[in-house]
Amino acid sequence: MHHQLQEKISTRSLRVAVIGLGYVGLPLAITFAEAGFQVEGIDVDKQKVDQANRGESYIPDISSSTLQALIQKNRLHFSSDYAVLDEIDAISICVPTPLRKTRDPDISYIVSVTHEVQSHLHAGQLIVLESTTYPGTTNEVLLPVLQSTGLKVGVDFFLAFSPERIDPGNPDFGTQNTPKIVGGITQTCTELAHAFYEAAIKKVIPLSSARVAEMAKLLENTFRAVNIGLVNEIAIICDKLGINVWEVIEAAATKPFGFMPFFPGPGLGGHCIPVDPHYLSWKLKTLDYTARFIELAAEINSSMPHYVVDKIGQALNEQRRCFNGATILVLGVAYKRNVGDVRESPSLDIIQELIERKAVVLYNDEYVSSLQLLGRTLYSQTLSSGLLQAADCTVIVTDHSYYDIPWIIREARSIVDTRNSTQGYRDEKVLLL
């Protein structure tokens, strides 16, 4: 089986399935199709499948023309029917792994897909989990279910973990040129997963096990979460000391070694950094250990939206206004600049607290046309002089590149800048984070 799969990979006759067609899965499916493989994209969302089959991209980083070209070449097809796995040689699982309200891992999507794969598992298949999860998931959750078929891992079928490293909106690094790590259940599993990804991705690094690959992914994002937590606390400290934190960071960054600049902000957002460290923290709790750095960073980062609201209150006080009845304009609700993704966005927490304080909240974000929040629908407002002048306070939460900062400063009555966007332009009406 091992040699047969190697042969199929080298001749591009391997049939590939990507399960989960979101920000990770769709770009991965396209990368393999562009490398010459026949790819089946699978998702339970039939609307998403139908849209993809029409050649209409719903992912900003993927153009519809790219999608259409691969569909016309018969390299790419999409389905909601898991029965297509009967004809598939290699499966990449790219389903969500959110947190429950209790901050415990929710791997229900992984479990559900694993049982679907089990129903169609046959000798000679390679299965790779890409969804971020706690160390041990591939061994402890997927492996027992798949081996219950009577097929043996490393002999009849092959199982590995290779974490996604997607950065939505990044113009320089995509699926094809971002280095990829892989770790298998057995050495043969690792070799096959390495060969599989190497056929479509520029650089693939084999590791000793799936557990190492799972842990490496969590380290990547925990590293960022902890350092962001540190710099957010430094921002609070600098504020209390009357020091400009942005100038401090810029000064420290002149050192050519031993320092890596991180920047404060209104809180963490996206599908990785706010979520992934909790997977590691939860796993350690099952081993009677408290991951103190991780939990402290999470505490600081999750408090930043409230800190921003306090800053807005300070700006209102300078105008002898209170929250009740004040008009607050939020610029940017996506979790990062130039994308339309609002998952875990700190803007949502900021807006919710402002509404709870009885403020009138308006927002502008050309990437996010509407929001569902507190049982109501908010719509993005067209940015105009009238809108800026009508707001008691304008809050820059997401620094989209289309914002004309000098113009905003001229027109707005009061500004709270959480991203240092006003650097070089600011005046007395600007209040920094």
Q: Which helix H or strand E contains 188, and what residues bound it?
A: helix 187-198
In 3D space, the residue among 152, 161, 308, 137 whose CA is nearest the CA of residue 239 turns out to be 308
At 122, is the secondary structure helix, strand, or coil? coil
In 3D space, the residue among 263, 226, 294 whose CA is nearest the CA of residue 432 turns out to be 263
At 254, is the secondary structure helix, strand, or coil? coil
Residue of 94, 238, 272, 393 with catalytic role:
272
**Helices in 73-107 by DSSP H: which ranges?**
none
At 128, is the secondary structure helix, strand, or coil? strand
For the chain, percent helix, then strand, then coil, each to nearest 5? 40, 15, 45
Beta strands in 149-215 (DSSP E): 158-161, 180-184, 204-206
**Helices in 340-431 by DSSP H: which ranges?**
346-356, 385-390, 405-411
**Helices in 335-382 by DSSP H: which ranges?**
346-356
238 is catalytic: no
Other beta carbons within 10 Å of 113: 23
Structure-block tokens of residue 425: 């332009």
d(CA 161, CA 131): 9
At 49, is the secondary structure helix, strand, or coil? helix
In whole angstroms, how large is the CA radius of gyration of the chain? 24
Residue in the structure block whose two tokens are 């706010």: 274
Distance of CA 151 to the CA centre of its chain: 35
Phi, psi of 414 (to 5 degrees): -155, 140
Q: How far lies 301's CA from each of 12, 170, 274, 290, in Å?
A: 46, 23, 9, 18
Residues belonging to the active site: 272
